[in-house]
Structure 1
Amino acid sequence: MKIEVQSKKLIKPSTPMPNHSRMLKISGIDELQPPLYAGFLFYYRADGKNQEDDIFQRLRLLEESLSETLAIYYPLAGRYVEEELFIDCNDQGVEFVHAKVNGQLDQLLRGEFDTDLLGRLSEFRMAAAGNPLVAIQVNVFECGGLVIGLCSCHKVGDMSTMAAFMKSWATACRSGIHELASPYFEMSSLFPVKGSGVKIKPPFLAGIKLTMNRFSFSGAALSRLKLAGPKDLRISRVEAVSALLCKAFITMDRAKHGRLRPLFVCQNMNLRGRVNLPIPTNAFGNFVTKVVARCTISQSSLDFEALVKMIHDMFTNAKTRFAAIADGESCMDMVKDSAREHVEGVNGDKENVVDFTSWCGFPFYDIDFGWGKPELVSNGCIPVRKIALLDSKTEGGIDAWIILSQEEKVLLVQDPDIVAFTS
């Protein structure tokens, strides 16, 4: 598919920022985050109206409501000052791109996901001085369908922050800003920057042709999968899917290296509501940690139940430790320790690294700008071997979006467990 940029502009907040609120310090947890942009895509079918007039109207509504939403989420319209570790809330605006795609949206919805195409629908980038903190690209297909791609600088917010922003923007577009509440912007007072000494740099894969693949676990398949787990544990859908994918990645890694290597599993965990600190659920910024688990793999430990227990214990232990925290400094120390262990694992070459991020639980399929809910939601494509888990549109299902090499993809799609439980 050919993608042609029709326009590119900066959308500024509808009301200017008062001078006394110009500087927003980042938190110690923000400082830990890698200097890259995380992205995701929302796919909307055409609604059958006059396409040309309808698209023009939609773009106008998107721009106007975005401007209004930025008056509430004002740091996103600013610029990050790395040397001083703050966001200059200067109202410079977010990047807004209108692009035309000479193809049909159904080509993507049928599963023809080309990594280069996905990258152009929501351009991946690294953070750089003076760049907008948020970039939005509205891709218009010949059929009238839309793909709205958003990528945001990880230094200023995690997925919870950006999910709340997207929901607010959609609400403003659909019914106005009177329903919107201001986020909590005081995370730096609880977690002041003290110099973490930890630099999270994703292990980018240079010179390797990567593919992005969608594996769908239906609600019924997940019910069967959970029944195959330990009978004495109440396991979640995410734990069941993670264990099955770990099992497949172990088999794949053995085929590639000729032996069973130690396993290193890592996953993001949202800390909102998990610590006994005065932090509201609408906290703006990063409030996330890495949870990790290691184990030596033998033929007997390839058992699905053993892997489920390992991942369940990984989450349970992390939740217990963070629930016992009584002050911000202890919380910050634990997040730093987890980040340090994650960096050592993913940048090493002795272990089989299975790196997850889960966006399950975020109401992405409720993001309605006024022309219906999305047909599909996916993450963007970055040059990192990674698994992203999202709720599927069907009740109780999970979509696993997996970025890996073409060689690994061939092995993964042939795995008996993947064949049995996914479509």
Structure 2
Amino acid sequence: MKTIEGKQIISNEKVYPSFPTPQNLQTYKFSMIDQIVGPSPIPLMLFFPGNPESFEARIRLLKDSLSLVLSRFFPLAGRMSEDGQSIDCNDQGVPFIVAKIEGKMISDSMITRNSPSEASVVTRLYPCEINLSTQFGPGDSMAMFQVNQFECGGMAIAMVLCHEFMDGITTGHFVRSWAAAARVSSSESVCPNYIAQSLFPQYEEMKLQKVRPSVSIVKDGKSVVRRFVFDSSAINILKEKSLVERPTRVEVVSAFMWKCFMVASLANNKSVSVVTHAVDLRKRSRPQFAPDCLGNLFAMAAAACTNQHETELGHLVRKIRSSVSMIDGDYVARMLGDQGFLGYLKNLENTWSEVPNDADLLFIVSWCNLGIFKADFGWGNPIWIDRCLTSGDLVYMNGVWLVETGNGDGIEAWVTLGDKYMQEFEKIDELQALASIDPQPITCTLINGLC
């Protein structure tokens, strides 16, 4: 066994699909949207309390069920092709590391990383290094896994998946299907639909510089990550303040995050801000695509406002709604088929035509309602999930990642901003009154009791 920085590697092996991939499915071509998204990583970690079942028995269950689910999500067991435009679905398996974290309780790792030492505590729980510049390349595995055991008996299942093959909804399908396979439950298992590569055929001469908005996306400098947790009462207050008919919790929290970002943006001499929201195309198409249609099936809605005069919460909710409503059946139809790339460019022009080039950009992605908190492998639901967002990165994007709290009633907003922006953002009185900042996800007493 090998020990690295308090992480003892118990085993490092590969897990293979339980059934071979048919020959006619051994090449998965990326769709046009996959190409635009690119080969960045999706890191995800699920934390579980201790369990009477032995750790060894749980590892066997995880490997056996992963083998089963890889037969259906077969591209994950393949390798990136040499030209980077497809996956060789050759059943080469996925790396599967088992590690023991020495001298640490599970609560020590359920933290927001606000310092290099805190970052190292959590990043070692993942099977590879992850940052904004991390990319999958030719010959790389499309998924990697690491299962961590803590001194208290708790466990964390970490995975790094290739974004070029899957969006958040696909990730949710995969995690829930893996958990269902572990419980031998067919009712929650997904039979993947791979039609996206035909609906949105890849554009062989795509020039990425032509498909990006002119607004600056990537920032240089020190970044800071904070978690702002809104419970159900805080969300209800935001809904009442919005004065909008039947607002959703994602709408009001997104609008409030934008409102706070405007303060930070204005303090840094920016007059206009724009917020983007990832929108699921499965429900926007006419007719709708099947919910189990895998791949990247989303588009980015964009709404812009002046930072000084358009800060009323209800106005921001309506702006977000309006931008999302532009992604409709016609929007999707323009991107279908062999001429889909031209339709994509038209959609991009329509979305960004009124956004100034010097606008301050804030990405918002919601993982609420993906069912990841219901991923029960046989020992209960996760008590927390993590996305490996870390302070200090010298290349970053201003962004907000939304996910429901463990009880399903609230929302955690993971916010990444430049350090000067975060100084202004986190001191806003209304934000401090409504949200808990970097709280322990669950009390140490309860964690240790569960362990």
Displacement, 1:356?
Answer: 0.9
Match of 2:386 in 1: 378
Is residue 249 of structure 1 aligned with residue 258 of structure 2?
no
Structure-2 separation of matches of 1:179 and 1:397: 24
Match of 1:62 in 2: 62
How many residues are aligned here?
Answer: 413
Counterpart among 94, 118, 135 of residue 144 in structure 2: 135
Match of 2:247 in 1: 235
When residues 193 and 82 of structure 1 are mapped into structure 2, their CA distance, relative to the original with a 3 A threshold, is farther
Listed as ranges, the gaps of 5+ residues in structure 1 are: none
Q: Does the CA-based 8 Å contact 1:379-1:401 persist in structure 2?
A: no
Q: Does the CA-based 8 Å contact 1:292-1:338 persist in structure 2?
A: no
Match of 2:440 in 1: none
Alpha-carbon displacement from aligned partner over 1:31-81 (angstroms, at most 9, x marks no partner): 11122111122111112x27xxx1111111111111111111111101122
Taking structure 1 as the reference length, the TM-score comes to 0.88
Match of 2:180 in 1: 171
Structure-1 separation of matches of 2:345 and 2:11: 42
When residues 380 and 345 of structure 1 are mapped into structure 2, their CA distance, relative to the original with a 3 A threshold, is farther
Counterpart among 219, 225, 234 of residue 238 in structure 2: 225
Structure-1 separation of matches of 2:113 and 2:43: 19
Structure-2 separation of matches of 1:83 and 1:344: 33
Structure-1 separation of matches of 2:175 and 2:348: 27
Match of 1:118 in 2: 122
Match of 1:282 in 2: 292
Match of 1:313 in 2: 322
Match of 1:107 in 2: 108
**Could you tell me which amino acid in structure 2 is paired with residue 10 of structure 1?**
K
Counterpart among 378, 382, 401 of residue 414 in structure 2: 401
Match of 1:361 in 2: 369
Displacement, 1:84?
Answer: 6.5
Alpha-carbon displacement from aligned partner over 1:153-190 (angstroms, at most 9, x marks no partner): 11111111111011111111122669744211122222
Structure-2 separation of matches of 1:345 and 1:156: 31
Displacement, 1:285?
Answer: 1.1
Structure-2 separation of matches of 1:209 and 1:380: 16
Displacement, 1:329?
Answer: 6.0
Displacement, 1:19?
Answer: 2.1
Which stretch of the first structure deviates more once superposed, 189-198 or 24-33? 189-198
State the SS of the aligned residue for 2:302: strand
Match of 2:448 in 1: none
**Could you tell me which amino acid in structure 1 is paired with residue 368 of structure 2?**
C
Q: Does the CA-based 8 Å contact 1:196-1:336 persist in structure 2?
A: no
RMSD of aligned residue pairs (Cα, Å): 3.0
**Could you tell me which amino acid in structure 2 is paired with residue 230 of structure 1?**
L
Displacement, 1:318?
Answer: 2.5
Structure-2 separation of matches of 1:399 and 1:342: 28
Counterpart among 173, 186, 190 of residue 195 in structure 2: 186
Counterpart among 412, 420, 423 of residue 433 in structure 2: 420
When residues 219 and 319 of structure 1 are mapped into structure 2, their CA distance, relative to the original with a 3 A threshold, is farther
Which stretch of the first structure deviates more once superposed, 1-10 or 156-165? 1-10
Q: Does the CA-based 8 Å contact 1:29-1:332 persist in structure 2?
A: no
When residues 97 and 345 of structure 1 are mapped into structure 2, their CA distance, relative to the original with a 3 A threshold, is farther
Displacement, 1:4?
Answer: 3.7
Q: Does the CA-based 8 Å contact 2:72-2:191 persist in structure 1?
A: yes
Match of 1:160 in 2: 169
State how 1:33-44 maps to structure 2 within 5 Å: 33-44=37-48
Structure with bigger helix share is: 1
Displacement, 1:324?
Answer: 7.4
Taking structure 2 as the reference length, the TM-score comes to 0.83
Alpha-carbon displacement from aligned partner over 1:261-295 (angstroms, at most 9, x marks no partner): 21121111111121014631101211111111123
State how 1:6-21 maps to structure 2 within 5 Å: 6-21=10-25
Match of 1:272 in 2: 282
When residues 345 and 130 of structure 1 are mapped into structure 2, their CA distance, relative to the original with a 3 A threshold, is farther
Listed as ranges, the gaps of 5+ residues in structure 2 are: 437-451
